[in-house]
Amino acid sequence: MKTLLKIFLALLFVLSFKAQNLIDGAESVAYHAETNSYFVSSLMNNRVIKIDSDQNYSIFVDNIIAFGNCIKGDTLFLSSGNEVVGINVFTAEIIFTVAVEGAQQFDGITYDNNNNLYVVETRSNKLVKINITDKSYSYFVESGLEQATQDVYYDSFNDRIIVCAYGLNSSVLSVDPHTAEVTKLIETGGRFDGVTIDNNGFIYLATHLNGGQVQLYFNDFSNEPFIIYQGIDEPAGLDFNIENNTIAVPSFVGDNVIFIQLPEKYFYPSFNVDLKTGNAPLTVQFSDNSKTNIDNVNYEWDFDNDGVVDSELKSPEFTFESKGAYSVKVDYESSEGNYSVVKDSLIIVFAGESSILFKKKSSKAVIKSSEELNLGNEFTVEAYIYPEEYPSFPIGKTIIDKTYFRMYLTGNVLGLLGDRSLLVSVTLSDEKTLTLSAPSDAIQLSKWQHTAVSFNSSENSAKLYINGIEIDPILVGAGTIETGLKNNTENDIVVGNNLLGETNFSGKIDEIRFWNKSLNSSEINENLLNRLNGDEENLAGYWDVNEGNGSILFDKTSNENNGLLEELVYREGVNFDEVVSVKNETVNTLPSSFLLEQNYPNPFNPSTTIEYTIPTKVGDANFASPTNVTLRVYDILGNEVATLVNENKEPGNYRVNFDASSLSSGIYLYRIQAANFNQVRKMVLIK
């Protein structure tokens, strides 16, 4: 890309003219062919500035607020607030006015071939359609546009309206001018403030990213963007001059307009592949996708970038025999110059084991609902995760979502739950909600980790496991589990997101397992470092994610509840050795002594929290395996009034809630017994 950029810029003749102090905040520009003039919306001083063919600047209209502009025939249409006005380019007379009820801030504006205007309402992210003939209007698109929608342009090549937005990582969209259907064209870095199209159908987008750029896309958006100009202070609503083959770019901060003279002879090198990932041996079809008006181009392909030419065909085929990440290089030779493109790690070949990578906000895998996958009174859900970032808001990186069962990563939750950790929320059939959170920093970035939730309503049990180790959770909501989950037979499983695409996971997910049994610690650890066959007892759904490519996520059980991948790519699968390493790190951080903490609050009414610790080892005694723990409450006479814990516990820190609603005020004792450890503490109930 860098080599291409240098060659391409050498072909450009770029002119940037001083605005003679007339422009203050260049927001948009439109070209009028008959007068060979540009009309610039100067937002900060409420003017429209005219630039003639000799690059002379003059005030065309004063005392008018204009954000977006476009020219149809001899009328300059301007948008601002809730109004669109039309001004004759020869007389400067206002000949058209429409005020749209409910609109607050119009911005980009364009027109189609049927005498309609389309203008962006940037505060509500809607698109308004105005008929020029009778001045009727409607809110043509009321939902589905991106945040901070900025500019629009009618694409006559495909009879569509292209819409861009200023939001970070926003998508470029297409709107059907007949049906109002919104379609995503490409998901990008965003920060777009302008769009236009040239006479070859190439699409130009102005973005504020990377110092201000103008990017070129093919009409089908099949290419990585070509940067045709960089270094514009806040480029805005640009336009194409068909007479001079020039792109005019207003600079909002620079208070000027930059003119980019496009080359008469052009070559935009690009190629496509039918497969980027898969299991070895992997045969890939390469297809040249270059756009050029230059004849007689020669090709030299190097499929592993080792300096050896592997093919001289225009669109060759090549088989990758072994596992690895392969960079592909192609050299183009023509009478107008030589070009070279290298795509690093373009082809990734697996040895039968892969995972799915979530990197877009719309990325998700959807497994359709079924009776077999209903999570009821007893179940276990497992997944291997490789998170690359925590959510920027408290709860928001979905691992698995089944409406009444949700497993997330947390961000900074302000002390309510564990920060940068694992969270599970379930809705019970009695409408109670139970939330379990692992302690802060339980989940690490850029490492494979195993996560599991084991639920059993008959035993009042909901347990979290990370790398096979039971984690004492922070509990919020229902104090006791008296019922199973709310019926979710008709609720889809969404992996790595929710159905609306609002809580996308960032990173890789592998080995998704649904059991209709509550697995204990030994059962979870039995298969912790193994892939399953799919025929294990009580296994309701198993997606090993080893397809390597394609859009189907196959269920390896006989239930065959396959999933559909959306905006996902495959990457290397879980590294079990890394899971062992992370597990050892977790074990090494576990406590080395028994501990029974003082309850809090104390005195209390009616409930209080008791924390205790089970170590890995004390002296010569090893407690690395589960240890039987009892925690009981007694009145002052020694009568047992409650058993809070009576089960095997892995080493770790635990917290339990004691509800004394049925007891009278007084002094109570609580006692823990585990192996040879025995301790008693006092607490006071005051009602």
The predicted-structure confidence for 143-192, as pLDDT tens digits, reads as follows 999 989 999 999 999 999 999 999 888 899 999 999 999 999 998 888 99
**280 and 429 co-located in one domain:** no
Distance in angstroms (rounded) separating the CA atoms of residues 312 and 641:
84
Give the pLDDT of residue 215.
97
Residues 204, 197: contact at Cβ < 8 Å?
A: yes
Residue 5, helix vs strand vs coil: helix
Least confident residue range of 4-18, 26-40, 323-337, 401-415? 4-18
Give the pLDDT of residue 358.
96
346 C-beta neighbours (distance < 10 Å), count: 19
Give the pLDDT of residue 13.
43
Question: What residues form DSSP beta bridges with 604?
Answer: 685
Residue 224, helix vs strand vs coil: coil
Instruction: Give every CB contact of residue 13 below 8 A, 6+ residues apart in sequence.
Output: 261
pLDDT of 11 > 50? The answer is: no
- Alpha carbon dihedral 7, 10, 12, 13, in 10-degree steps, equals 180
Average pLDDT, the chain: 90
**279 and 388 co-located in one domain:** no
DSSP structure class, residue 294: -
pLDDT of 130 > 70? The answer is: yes
Higher pLDDT: 477 or 329? It is 329
pLDDT of 645 > 50? The answer is: yes
pLDDT of 282 > 90? The answer is: yes
Confidence of residue 300 (pLDDT cuts 50, 70, 90): very high
Q: Which domain holds residue 276?
A: 268-350
Give the pLDDT of residue 392.
79
Give the pLDDT of residue 3.
34
Residues 7, 20: contact at Cβ < 8 Å?
A: no
* Helix, strand, coil tally for the chain in percent (to 5): 5, 50, 45
Residue type, 606: P
**538 and 570 co-located in one domain:** yes
Residue 583, helix vs strand vs coil: helix
CATH number of the domain encompassing residue 300: 2.60.40.10
**503 and 621 co-located in one domain:** no
Least confident residue range of 84-88, 263-267, 473-477? 473-477
Give the pLDDT of residue 653.
74
**51 and 185 co-located in one domain:** yes
Least confident residue range of 5-9, 192-196, 323-327, 618-622? 5-9
**317 and 340 co-located in one domain:** yes
CATH number of the domain encompassing residue 55: 2.120.10.30
pLDDT of 7 > 50? The answer is: no
pLDDT of 407 > 80? The answer is: yes
Distance in angstroms (rounded) separating the CA atoms of residues 93 and 90:
8
**225 and 290 co-located in one domain:** no
Any idea which residue has 């058993």 for tokens?
Answer: 643
106-141 CB burial, b ≥16 within 10 A, e <16 = bbbbbbbeeebbbbbbbebbbbbbbebeeeebebbb
Number of domains in the chain: 4
Give the pLDDT of residue 218.
97
pLDDT of 429 > 70? The answer is: yes
Q: 455: closest CA among 430, 496, 485, 479? A: 485
pLDDT of 661 > 50? The answer is: yes
**259 and 311 co-located in one domain:** no
CATH number of the domain encompassing residue 546: 2.60.120.200
Higher pLDDT: 407 or 657? It is 407
Tokens of 211: 């110092």
Q: 110: closest CA among 41, 215, 196, 200? A: 196
Residue 591, helix vs strand vs coil: coil
Question: What residues form DSSP beta bridges with 195?
Answer: 205
Q: Rounded to an integer, what is the distance from CA 275 to the centroid of its chain?
A: 23
**297 and 256 co-located in one domain:** no
Distance in angstroms (rounded) separating the CA atoms of residues 455 and 376:
9
Q: 321: closest CA among 349, 302, 301? A: 349
Distance in angstroms (rounded) separating the CA atoms of residues 331 and 309:
10
Distance in angstroms (rounded) separating the CA atoms of residues 648 and 406:
27
Q: 413: closest CA among 432, 434, 441? A: 441
Residue type, 490: E
Q: 240: closest CA among 43, 85, 38? A: 38
Residue 376 CB burial class (10 angstroms; 0-12, 13-18, ≥19): middle
Any idea which residue has 């080893």 for tokens?
Answer: 546
Give the pLDDT of residue 187.
83
Give the pLDDT of residue 656.
86
Give the pLDDT of residue 583.
56
Give the pLDDT of residue 381.
98
pLDDT digits (tens, 9 = 90+) for 556-607: 999 999 999 999 999 999 988 766 565 555 555 555 678 888 888 889 899 8
Q: What are the backbone angles phi and psi of residue 236, rounded to the nearest 5°?
A: -125, -140
pLDDT digits (tens, 9 = 90+) for 472-528: 777 776 667 889 999 999 999 999 998 888 899 999 999 999 999 999 988 998 898
**561 and 580 co-located in one domain:** yes
- Alpha carbon dihedral 476, 477, 480, 481, in 10-degree steps, equals -100
| ∠ CA 167-169-173, rounded to 5° | 80
The stretch 310-329 carries a mean pLDDT of: 96
Q: 582: closest CA among 444, 470, 472, 389? A: 444
Q: List strand residue ranges (DSSP E) for 143-245, in order.
A: 149-155, 160-165, 171-175, 182-187, 192-197, 203-207, 213-217, 226-230, 239-241
CATH number of the domain encompassing residue 662: 2.60.40.1930
The DSSP-derived string for 305-365 is -SS---B-SSS-EEEE-SSEEEEEEEEEEETTEEEEEEEEEEEEEESS-EEEEE-STT-EE
Q: How many helices (H) and strands (E) does the chain have?
A: 3, 59
Distance in angstroms (rounded) separating the CA atoms of residues 295 and 446:
48
pLDDT of 427 > 60? The answer is: yes
Residue 111, helix vs strand vs coil: strand
Give whichever of 90-99, 409-418, 520-529 has the largest mean pLDDT: 90-99
Residue 669, helix vs strand vs coil: strand
Residues 91, 103: contact at Cβ < 8 Å?
A: no
| Widest pairwise Cα distance in the chain | 103
**92 and 140 co-located in one domain:** yes
| Domain termination residue (choose one: 206, 229, 264) | 264
| Domain termination residue (choose one: 552, 587, 622) | 587
Confidence of residue 634 (pLDDT cuts 50, 70, 90): very high
Give the pLDDT of residue 419.
81
Residue 652, helix vs strand vs coil: strand
**320 and 434 co-located in one domain:** no
| Domain termination residue (choose one: 350, 380, 412) | 350
Q: Rounded to an integer, what is the distance from CA 470 to the centroid of its chain?
A: 30
Residue 190 CB burial class (10 angstroms; 0-12, 13-18, ≥19): buried
Any idea which residue has 């089960």 for tokens?
Answer: 647
Percent of the chain with pLDDT over 70: 92
Least confident residue range of 148-162, 374-388, 437-451, 506-520? 437-451
Residue 8, helix vs strand vs coil: helix
Give the pLDDT of residue 20.
56
Higher pLDDT: 470 or 165? It is 165
